[in-house]
């Protein structure tokens, strides 16, 4: 499978960042409501962490390997 080009990676990263921000807003709103499902909150937080990991992996692909 071919690696996506840098522009495709940037677009994917931006989409993931947008979803990450949206999840952050949902989590904050849920916590502020004070009547929330703890399991739902845990799932949202886990999804947010998965997104962050995906963002970091894609960003690493944009940075060329430098041999020290």
- The dihedral through the CA atoms of 19, 20, 25, 29 has a sign that is positive
pTM higher than 0.85, yes or no? no
Q: Is the pLDDT of residue 68 over 80?
A: no
Pair 44, 30: CB distance under 8 Å: yes
What does the pLDDT look like over 11-43, one tens digit per residue? 999 999 999 999 999 999 999 988 889 999 999
pLDDT at residue 63, rounded to an integer: 84
Place 64 in a pLDDT band, splitting at 50, 70 and 90.
confident
């Amino acid at each position: 499978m071919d690696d996506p080009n840098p522009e495709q990676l940037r677009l994917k990263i931006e989409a993931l960042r947008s979803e990450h921000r949206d999840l952050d807003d949902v989590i904050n709103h849920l916590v502020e409501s004070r009547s929330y499902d703890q399991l739902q909150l845990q799932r949202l937080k886990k999804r947010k962490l998965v997104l962050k990991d995906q963002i970091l992996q894609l960003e690493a692909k944009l940075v060329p390997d430098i041999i020290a």
